[in-house]
Amino acid sequence: MIYSNSRFVLMLAALLLAPAAPALAQPSASRATVPAVDAGSDAGVAGTAAPNRDTARARRKSNRLLVKRVAAVLARTRGLDSSRILIRAADGTVTLSGTVTDNVQIPLAVNAAQQVTGVTAVRNQLRIGTQIE
Protein backbone atom coordinates (compact mmCIF):
# COMPACT_ATOMS: atom_id res chain seq x y z
CA MET A 1 0.00 0.00 0.00
CA ILE A 2 1.54 3.31 -1.09
CA TYR A 3 0.76 6.54 0.75
CA SER A 4 0.84 9.93 -0.86
CA ASN A 5 3.09 12.59 0.66
CA SER A 6 0.22 14.63 2.05
CA ARG A 7 -1.40 11.61 3.70
CA PHE A 8 1.97 10.60 5.25
CA VAL A 9 2.58 14.11 6.58
CA LEU A 10 -0.92 14.20 8.04
CA MET A 11 -0.42 10.85 9.80
CA LEU A 12 2.99 11.93 11.12
CA ALA A 13 1.55 15.17 12.49
CA ALA A 14 -1.28 13.28 14.19
CA LEU A 15 1.18 10.89 15.83
CA LEU A 16 3.37 13.72 17.07
CA LEU A 17 0.50 15.80 18.44
CA ALA A 18 -1.43 12.94 20.06
CA PRO A 19 0.43 13.08 23.41
CA ALA A 20 -0.20 16.83 23.68
CA ALA A 21 -3.95 16.57 23.00
CA PRO A 22 -5.07 16.08 26.65
CA ALA A 23 -3.09 19.13 27.78
CA LEU A 24 -4.51 21.23 24.98
CA ALA A 25 -8.07 20.14 25.79
CA GLN A 26 -7.96 21.47 29.36
CA PRO A 27 -9.59 24.83 30.06
CA SER A 28 -7.17 27.73 29.99
CA ALA A 29 -7.91 28.71 33.60
CA SER A 30 -6.34 25.53 34.94
CA ARG A 31 -3.12 26.10 32.98
CA ALA A 32 -2.72 29.69 34.11
CA THR A 33 -3.00 29.20 37.83
CA VAL A 34 -0.82 31.36 40.03
CA PRO A 35 -0.10 30.36 43.62
CA ALA A 36 -1.52 32.69 46.23
CA VAL A 37 1.10 34.59 48.20
CA ASP A 38 1.06 36.53 51.40
CA ALA A 39 0.90 40.29 50.84
CA GLY A 40 4.02 40.81 52.96
CA SER A 41 6.02 38.11 51.22
CA ASP A 42 8.63 38.63 48.51
CA ALA A 43 7.71 35.29 46.90
CA GLY A 44 5.39 36.93 44.41
CA VAL A 45 7.98 39.35 43.07
CA ALA A 46 8.91 38.53 39.50
CA GLY A 47 12.31 36.92 39.12
CA THR A 48 12.70 35.79 42.73
CA ALA A 49 10.88 32.46 42.54
CA ALA A 50 13.62 30.22 41.14
CA PRO A 51 17.04 30.64 39.56
CA ASN A 52 16.94 30.31 35.82
CA ARG A 53 19.35 29.59 33.02
CA ASP A 54 20.03 33.27 32.36
CA THR A 55 21.24 33.80 35.92
CA ALA A 56 23.59 30.81 35.73
CA ARG A 57 24.80 31.90 32.31
CA ALA A 58 25.49 35.43 33.59
CA ARG A 59 27.39 34.03 36.59
CA ARG A 60 29.58 31.86 34.34
CA LYS A 61 30.26 34.83 32.07
CA SER A 62 31.18 36.98 35.06
CA ASN A 63 33.55 34.29 36.32
CA ARG A 64 35.21 34.00 32.89
CA LEU A 65 35.70 37.77 32.69
CA LEU A 66 37.19 37.84 36.19
CA VAL A 67 39.66 35.09 35.23
CA LYS A 68 40.70 37.10 32.15
CA ARG A 69 41.19 40.29 34.18
CA VAL A 70 43.26 38.50 36.82
CA ALA A 71 45.35 36.78 34.13
CA ALA A 72 46.05 40.13 32.46
CA VAL A 73 47.14 41.70 35.76
CA LEU A 74 49.37 38.73 36.62
CA ALA A 75 50.98 38.87 33.17
CA ARG A 76 51.80 42.57 33.68
CA THR A 77 53.18 42.13 37.21
CA ARG A 78 56.94 42.75 37.26
CA GLY A 79 59.03 39.95 38.68
CA LEU A 80 56.26 37.37 38.28
CA ASP A 81 56.33 34.48 35.82
CA SER A 82 52.62 33.72 35.47
CA SER A 83 52.99 31.18 32.66
CA ARG A 84 52.40 28.20 35.00
CA ILE A 85 49.70 29.77 37.18
CA LEU A 86 46.15 28.45 36.76
CA ILE A 87 43.30 30.80 37.66
CA ARG A 88 39.76 29.83 38.60
CA ALA A 89 36.96 32.13 39.73
CA ALA A 90 33.66 31.48 41.45
CA ASP A 91 31.45 34.39 42.51
CA GLY A 92 34.36 36.73 43.25
CA THR A 93 36.62 34.15 44.89
CA VAL A 94 39.75 33.58 42.82
CA THR A 95 41.85 30.45 43.22
CA LEU A 96 45.48 30.54 42.11
CA SER A 97 47.12 27.15 41.60
CA GLY A 98 50.11 25.80 39.75
CA THR A 99 53.80 26.47 40.24
CA VAL A 100 56.08 29.48 40.49
CA THR A 101 59.88 29.47 40.39
CA ASP A 102 60.57 30.88 43.87
CA ASN A 103 58.90 31.93 47.12
CA VAL A 104 59.02 35.65 46.24
CA GLN A 105 56.51 35.16 43.43
CA ILE A 106 53.69 33.74 45.57
CA PRO A 107 52.94 36.98 47.46
CA LEU A 108 53.36 38.93 44.21
CA ALA A 109 50.66 36.83 42.55
CA VAL A 110 48.29 36.92 45.53
CA ASN A 111 48.65 40.69 46.02
CA ALA A 112 48.19 41.37 42.30
CA ALA A 113 45.04 39.23 42.17
CA GLN A 114 43.58 40.98 45.24
CA GLN A 115 43.86 44.34 43.48
CA VAL A 116 41.59 43.32 40.58
CA THR A 117 38.11 44.84 40.67
CA GLY A 118 35.53 42.17 41.43
CA VAL A 119 37.84 39.91 43.43
CA THR A 120 36.43 39.37 46.92
CA ALA A 121 38.88 36.68 48.10
CA VAL A 122 41.99 34.91 46.86
CA ARG A 123 42.72 31.26 47.65
CA ASN A 124 46.41 30.51 47.33
CA GLN A 125 47.26 27.00 46.16
CA LEU A 126 50.53 27.95 44.48
CA ARG A 127 53.61 25.78 44.96
CA ILE A 128 57.26 26.40 44.38
CA GLY A 129 58.55 24.25 41.56
CA THR A 130 60.97 24.25 38.71
CA GLN A 131 59.93 25.03 35.19
CA ILE A 132 60.58 22.18 32.78
CA GLU A 133 62.11 23.30 29.50
DSSP per residue, 40-98: T-STTSTT-SS--HHHHHHHHHHHHHHHHHHHHHHHHSTT--GGGEEEEEETTEEEEEE
Whether the pLDDT of residue 15 is over 70: the answer is: no
pLDDT digits (tens, 9 = 90+) for 17-56: 666 555 555 554 444 334 444 444 444 455 554 567 889 9
Residue 64 lies in a domain: yes
**What domain range includes position 97?**
54-128
Residue 98 lies in a domain: yes
Number of domains in the chain: 1
Q: Which residue has the higher pLDDT, 61 or 48?
A: 61
Residue 72 lies in a domain: yes
Measure Cα distances from 87 to 33, 46, 120, 124 in Å: 46, 35, 14, 10
The predicted model scores a pTM of 0.59
